[in-house]
Structure 1
C-alpha cells in the first residue's frame, strides 16, 4: 500500500498491507509528541555539553584555590576524554541490548553523580578519577540522543533533528560559560558544577515519565503492545493500522570493512589528507576548549572576559558548523571548508595584539571559532563524500578516530607548555601550526575532489532530503568508533 504524502493529505495509511513503524512515522505530519521528545533530547544534550565543557572555564579558579599550576590539570582533562571515548564505544552500544531509554537515564545519572563528587575533591589526582567516570556517562549520552531523535522523527526531518541535537552540546558549553561568568566571582567554581548536577537530575526525573522507549527496540524485543502505544501518541489513528513489526527490526550489521579498503582504489592520499585534517582540527578544538580561559587570564585578561570569550567562541563554532552544512548543501562542493582555516591562521597570530581591547579580542576569537572550529564540525560531510557507500561508515569512523587522537594530545601538550612556563602569547600563537596543517591538507583534498567532480559520493542513494552533513552525522553516531563530542 502506498504511504500517503502528509503534506497533501495529512492522513496515515489505512488498512491493507501491513506497514512498518518507519513507514507509518513517515506517512503523517510531525506531531507535538515528536517535538516534545526532540526537545527533551536537546535539553539532555545541553546538560551533557554543560558538564563536559565546564572545566575549561573553571581551571583558573580551581588552580588558584588548590595552589597548583593550571598546567597540572592536563592529565585530568585527558583522562576525562578517555572516559568519554570508553562511554561512546563500549557503553553506548549497550542500548541495543537494554534499550535507549534506560541507557540514557543511567548514563545521565552516572555523570551527574561523579560531577557532584568533583565539588568535594581538592587534588588533581582525585579530579582525574571523577572526570574519568563522569566522562564515561557523558560519552554514552550523545550517541543515544542522536539515535532517539532519528528514530522518532520522520525521514524528511531526521537530518535536521540530528543536527539540532548535535549542536545542543556545544550550546551547552556556551551556557556553561555564561553561568560561570555569573556564579564563579560570587560563589566559587563549585557553584557551576552544582548547576551541572541539579539540571541533569531534574531532566532524568522528567525523562523517566515522558521519554518513550525506541519503537524499533520494542519491536525487536516482541513488545508490540508498548510499541503500538507509543505510535498512538504520535497519531491516534495508528490504532486502526495493520503494522508489520517484524519489518521494523534494524537491518543486520554488515561485516567489518578492512581498513586497507580505505587506501585502495587511488584513495591512499585522500585518506591520509583526511586523517591529517581531522587530527589537526581536533587539536585546535580541544586546545581551545581546555586552555583558552586559562591562557587569557595568564596574560592579564580579566577572568570574566576570558570566560565570556570562550563562551561566545563556542556559540560561534556552532553557528559556523551549521553555516558550513548549509553552504555545502547549496553549492554541492566543499570549497568553503578550504577557505576558513587559512583566514584562521592569520587571526590566531593576531590574537596577542588584541589583549588590551576586550571587544576586539572577543571578535577575533569568535571568528576563529566560526571559521576553524566550525570547519571541524563539518568534516563528517567531506568524509562521507570521499568514500563509496560500501566503505563509507568505516571511512568516517576511522577519520573521527584520527581526530580523537588530536583531542587526547591537545590537553596534555597545553599542560606541559603551561607548566614549563612558556609565555601565554607564544602558546596561543602556536595554535597556528595545527591550523596551517589542517588548512594545507584541506586545500589539497578539496582541489583533488574538485578535479574528480567533488560532489557527495553516492548522492543518489539518499532516499530522503537530508543534507549531506546531517545524513553523515547520523551515520557517525551509529558507527562503533563514534565519540560523543
Structure 2
C-alpha cells in the first residue's frame, strides 16, 4: 500500500453504516422489479378460467401455456447470472424488465394456444433474468445484520404482484377481457425500465473488480455515508479467486469442491419447493372454481396465498438474521407439508380453508424466498449472481413440473383434497435438502475447531 493511501473494504464499509436513503431507494426499485415479475409470472393463472371459456378448450390444455413462462424463467436465470457477473447487475436488470414488458404486450394479441405458449416463453426469459440479479444486488447493498430481512422484504413484491394480479383480473376480465391483464403487465415494466436507467446504481462490490470505476464507487459510497472521508483511498472487496478467473469461471466456482454439495442441495430444495408454490399459484383459481366458487370469488380467495407471503417474508427474514438461517427454512418447509395436507381436508369450511391458504402462502412463499437469500449468503461476490441464478434456473423446472402435474391430476379427475395432500411430499424433500446443507456446514466447523 502506498504511503498515506487507505484501503477500504466496500463490504465492511456497508456493514458498518446505517441503512441509508440510497439503500432504501435500491430496496424500493428492486421491490418494484419483483412486483412486476410476480404479476407477469402469475398472469396466466388468473386468465386461465377466462381462456378456457373464450377459446372453448379443456383446462388440461393450458398446462403447456402455464409451463412455457417457467421454462423461459429457468433459461433466463441460467444465462443471465453469468452475464451479470461479467457485465454488471444493472444492465441485465434494465434489459430483462424491458424484455418481459414487451413480450407481455405482444402475448395479449394471441389467438391460439400455440402462439400464447411461444410469447409466454419469451416473456419468461426476461422474468428469469430479473429475479436472481435483484437478489444479488440487494444482498450486496444490505448490511450483514439486515441482509436476509432486506432480501425477504424485497421479495414481498412478488406477493404484491400476485395480489395485484388477482384483484386486477377480477375487475379487468369481466370489463375488458383477458387481454387487458397482459397489457397492464406489459406497460408497467416498460415504465419501470426507464426509472431503473435513471436511478438504480450498479453494485459497488461488482465495480471493485472492474478497472476505472474508482470515482463511481466513491460517489455511491458517499450516497450511503455523506460524511465519510474517501480521499486518498483504494477500494477492495472479498474474493475467492483472481479477478479474471472470477469473471470467467463463475459456474466452475459454484460447482467446485467447496460449493458443490450446497449447490446441488439448493437446486433440489428450490425445485421441490417450486412444485408446491407454482401448482398452488397457477391452479388454485381453477380448483376453487371446480369446487363451486364463482370466477371472481375463486380469484379473490386465491389471493390469500400471496397475501400470506407479505407476512411470512419479513418474519422469516428476521428469524434468519437473528436465529439461524438454515433452521428457519427447514422448519418452514415442514410446516408447509402439514398445512397443505390440512387444506386438502378442509373443503367443508370456507373460513378454515381461507385461513389455511393464507398460512400456506406465508410459509411456502417465505421458504422459497429465503432459499434465494440463503444462496446469496453462501456464494462470494464473483459467483453470487451465477449461484442464485442457477439455483433459480434449475428450480424453475420444479415450477414447470408443478404446472404440468396440476394439469395431469385434473385431467385424471383428481379432487381438490387429493391434489393438496400430494404436495406434502415435495415440501418435505425441500426441508431435508436444506437440512443437509446445515449439517455439512456444522461438520466443516467441527473439523476446523
The 2-side partners of 1:192 and 1:144 are apart by 26
The 1-side partners of 2:154 and 2:230 are apart by 32
* Residue 367 in structure 1 maps to residue 356 in structure 2: no
Equivalent of residue 413 in structure 2, options 422, 425, 428: 422
SS at match of 2:111: coil
SS at match of 2:399: helix
* Residue 198 in structure 1 maps to residue 191 in structure 2: no
Counterpart in the other structure of 1:10: none
1:267-291: CA deviation from partner (whole Å, max 9, x where unpaired)? 9xxx88x877655433221111111
The 2-side partners of 1:438 and 1:261 are apart by 27
Report the CA distance between 1:108 and its aligned residue. 0.6
| 1:276-425 → structure 2 map (5 Å cutoff) | 278-327=270-319, 332=324, 333=327, 336-337=331-332, 340-354=335-349, 357=350, 359-378=351-370, 403-418=395-410, 420=411, 422=413
Q: Report which stretch shifted further, 330-339 or 163-172.
A: 330-339
**Structure 1 111/279 Cα, relative in aligned 2: closer, same or farther at 3 Å?**
closer
The 1-side partners of 2:431 and 2:337 are apart by 10
Counterpart in the other structure of 1:223: 213
Report the CA distance between 1:316 and its aligned residue. 0.9
The 2-side partners of 1:366 and 1:403 are apart by 23
Q: Please report the RMSD computed on the Cα atoms of aligned residues, expressed in angstroms.
A: 4.0
The 1-side partners of 2:254 and 2:401 are apart by 27
Report the CA distance between 1:171 and its aligned residue. 2.5
Question: How high is the TM-score relative to the length of structure 1?
Answer: 0.75
The 2-side partners of 1:415 and 1:88 are apart by 25
**Structure 1 171/294 Cα, relative in aligned 2: closer, same or farther at 3 Å?**
same
Q: Which has the higher contact order (CA 8 A, sep 6+)?
A: 2
Q: Which runs of 5+ in 2 are unaligned?
A: none
User: Conserved in 2, the CA contact under 8 Å of 1:384 and 1:457?
Assistant: no
* Residue 187 in structure 1 maps to residue 169 in structure 2: no
**Structure 1 80/396 Cα, relative in aligned 2: closer, same or farther at 3 Å?**
closer
User: Conserved in 1, the CA contact under 8 Å of 2:332 and 2:364?
Assistant: no
Report the CA distance between 1:257 and its aligned residue. 6.5
Q: Which runs of 5+ in 1 are unaligned?
A: 2-14, 462-485
Counterpart in the other structure of 1:130: 119
Equivalent of residue 83 in structure 1, options 58, 72, 75: 72
Report the CA distance between 1:454 and its aligned residue. 10
Equivalent of residue 18 in structure 2, options 29, 37, 60: 29
The 2-side partners of 1:251 and 1:388 are apart by 10
User: Conserved in 1, the CA contact under 8 Å of 2:37 and 2:161?
Assistant: yes
| 1:144-223 → structure 2 map (5 Å cutoff) | 144-219=133-208, 220-223=210-213
Question: How high is the TM-score relative to the length of structure 2?
Answer: 0.80
| 1:217-296 → structure 2 map (5 Å cutoff) | 217-219=206-208, 220-238=210-228, 240-245=230-235, 247-248=236-237, 250-252=239-241, 253=246, 255-256=252-253, 278-296=270-288
Report the CA distance between 1:203 and its aligned residue. 1.4
User: Conserved in 1, the CA contact under 8 Å of 2:48 and 2:286?
Assistant: yes
**Structure 1 316/275 Cα, relative in aligned 2: closer, same or farther at 3 Å?**
same
The 1-side partners of 2:28 and 2:400 are apart by 31
User: Conserved in 2, the CA contact under 8 Å of 1:388 and 1:457?
Assistant: no
User: Conserved in 2, the CA contact under 8 Å of 1:281 and 1:434?
Assistant: no
Is the radius of gyration larger for structure 1 or structure 2?
Answer: 1
User: Conserved in 1, the CA contact under 8 Å of 2:276 and 2:423?
Assistant: yes
Report the CA distance between 1:383 and its aligned residue. 8.8
